[in-house]
Amino acid sequence: NERDLRLRKKYGIHVSGNNVPSPLQGFAELSTRYGCESYLLHNLVKLGFKEPTPIQRQAIPVLLSGRECFAKAPTGSGKTLAFVYPMLMKLKQPSKDGIRAVILCHTRELAAQTTRECKKMAKGNKFRIKLMTKELMRNTDFTKLPCDILVSTPRRLQLCICKKKKKKIDLSRVEYLVLDESDKLFERSLLEQTDSVVKACSNPSIIRSLFSATLPDFVEDVARTVMHDAVRVIVGDKNA
Ligand code: ADP
Ligand code: MG
């Protein structure tokens, strides 16, 4: 439709895939179109965010529509919020259904920073958002860990998948899996760990998304083998 095309052109958004949902005109549409709870809009105001960035305009509706997504947008363009907001909206309320969402980050520093941002965005709701620390790995009976969102590096999460029977982490109920800086996660040094986490998240109705500043062909090829009916969203120069 005309309006979608105009908005995408204006913000340098390129999409491919079937029936790609309309981009957001503004954050207000999160509540008018998607019934977003008021605490989330309030948090945007508190953070001082007035307009969605281009990647947020397109990736948020894609994920809210229950579609899997590959997204490429420059560093500093607000990718974290683009995957955290839809996740918070979809999870709705805290629950004790095991680990419901996983965010994979290629370094511990990025995982820690993403956890902090996630908590800021979730303020006012009682979601349990956990960072996989050494402490947590050592002392936790994962079968009893109340956790809505788990943020980890692939290495640490893989170690918990491989633990002895009882203490092993169960990822079979994960509903949302985000691979942040996915090009790094699929590099040779992390590929095997990333792959075991992706496999352990065995819920057939899982929604996976990849966010990155570059999207090399080999990453897209690997990802296409596991994702279904994914939408590709690219912001900026298509060929960069
Ligand atoms: P990326 O992951 O794309 O590199 P980040 O998610 O780390 O980018 O965001 C970069 C900065 O932009 C952060 O400081 C974040 O708080 C800020 N930011 C995110 N979304 C918005 C927005 N809609 N308006 C203004 N600033 C934003
Ligand atoms: Mg980022």
What residues does ligand 1 touch, defined as CB less than 6 Å away?
Answer: 49, 52-53, 56, 73, 75-81
Q: 195-231: per-residue pLDDT in tens?
A: 999 999 999 999 999 999 998 988 888 888 888 899 9
Contact 64, 22 (CB under 8 A): no
Q: Which of 138-152, 190-204, 226-240 has the highest average model confidence (pLDDT)?
A: 190-204
Contacts of 45 (CB under 8 A, 6+ apart): none
Opening angle at CA 64, ends 58 and 66, nearest 5: 110
Q: Report yes or no for ipTM above 0.95.
A: yes
**CA of residue 167 to ligand 2 center, whole Å:** 31
Ligand 1 atom 12, closest CA? 78
Task: Name the band, by pLDDT with cuts 50, 70 and 90, for residue 166.
Answer: low
Strand 13-16, strand 231-235: pairing: antiparallel
pTM: 0.96
Opening angle at CA 39, ends 211 and 113, nearest 5: 40
Q: 87-114: per-residue pLDDT in tens?
A: 999 999 999 889 999 999 999 999 999 9
* Site to substitute for ligand 1 among 50, 77, 233, most atoms within 8 A of C-beta: 77
Atom from ligand 1 closest to the CA of residue 113: 7
* Residue 239 pLDDT > 70: no
Atom from ligand 1 closest to the CA of residue 180: 2
Report d(CA 205, CA 227) in Å as an integer: 11
